[in-house]
């Protein structure tokens, strides 16, 4: 389990190209915008307003969450501290480093959460029990 704290998670601005002809915006994630190579892309959508996603930590996975549409809250925990980040702009994404518990809630109607991930899917990388997570974090102190 990585020693990271919630201070290691951060919102990153995604470059935005505003069309001068009034055709709207274009945002692009390339080169060094995020600090890992993308190995997987998935997205959450049609999430009911009262539904809850996440509720786990990753041992090694880095992820970048982008609210392509609508908004939702991401609750981050490191075993000691908690912070909530509201994502509601398609040109601002949240970097979540390994060793951080995350919960996603308060999805607005029509919200879409794009996730760029540093590894392919691997269930062994998940810690899905919060007490196990807290114990694993304590062992890094
Ligand atoms: C995370 C949050 C933001 C796959 O087969 N492949 C995949 O790439 C993923 C992500 C999931 N799955 C399967 C595993 C489960 O049977 O899809 C099902 C739902 O996955 P889970 O309950 O983990 O979904 P969320 O929305 O609670 O969590 C997901 C990611 O798993 C997680 O890494 O940070 O989105």
The mean pLDDT of 53-57, rounded to a whole number, is 98
Q: Distance of CA 108 to CAs 2, 42, 90, 94, Å?
A: 32, 19, 14, 17
To 10 degrees, the CA torsion angle through 98, 104, 109, 114?
A: 10
Q: Encode 85-105 in three state secondary structure.
A: EEECCCCEEEEECCCCEEEEE
Q: Whose CA is nearest to atom 31 of ligand 1?
A: 54
Q: Is the CB of 77 under 6 A from ligand 1?
A: no
Q: Measured between alpha carbons, how far is 78 from 5 in angstroms, rounded to an integer?
A: 5
Q: Do 126 and 102 touch, CB atoms closer than 8 A?
A: no
**pLDDT band at 18, cuts 50/70/90?**
very high
Check pocket membership of 62 for ligand 1, CB cut-off 6 A.
no
95 pocket-lining for ligand 1 (C-beta < 6 Å): no
Instruction: Check if 53 has its Cβ closer than 6 Å to any atom of ligand 1.
Output: yes
Give the closest residue to 129 by CA, choosing from 26, 22, 12, 1: 1
Give Cα separations from 32 to 28, 46, 82 (angstroms). 11, 31, 28
Residue 137 pLDDT grade (very low, low, confident, very high; cuts 50, 70, 90): very high
CA of 100 to the centre of ligand 1 (A): 15
Residue 42 in 3-state DSSP? strand
Catalytic residue among 53, 56, 89, 92: 56
Average pLDDT score over the chain: 97
Residue 102 sits at the vertex; the CA angle it makes with 42 and 44, to the nearest 5 degrees, is 25
pLDDT of 98-119, one tens digit each? 999 999 999 999 999 999 999 9
Please tell me the predicted confidence (pLDDT) of residue 1. 83
Share of the chain above pLDDT 90, in %: 97
Told to judge if 56 belongs to the known catalytic residues of this protein, a careful annotator would answer yes
């Amino acid at each position: 389990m990585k020693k990271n704290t919630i201070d290691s998670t951060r919102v990153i601005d995604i470059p935005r190209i505003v069309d001068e002809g009034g055709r709207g915006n274009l945002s692009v994630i390339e080169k060094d915008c995020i600090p890992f190579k993308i190995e997987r892309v998935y997205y959450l959508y049609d999430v009911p307003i009262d539904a809850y996603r996440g509720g786990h930590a990753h041992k090694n996975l880095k992820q970048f969450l982008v609210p392509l549409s609508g908004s939702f809250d991401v609750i981050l925990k490191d075993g000691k501290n908690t912070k909530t980040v509201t994502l509601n702009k398609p040109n601002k994404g949240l970097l979540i480093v390994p060793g951080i518990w995350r919960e996603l809630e308060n999805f607005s109607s029509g919200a879409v959460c794009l996730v760029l991930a540093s590894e392919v899917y691997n269930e062994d990388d998940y810690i899905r029990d919060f007490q196990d997570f807290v114990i694993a974090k304590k062992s890094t102190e």
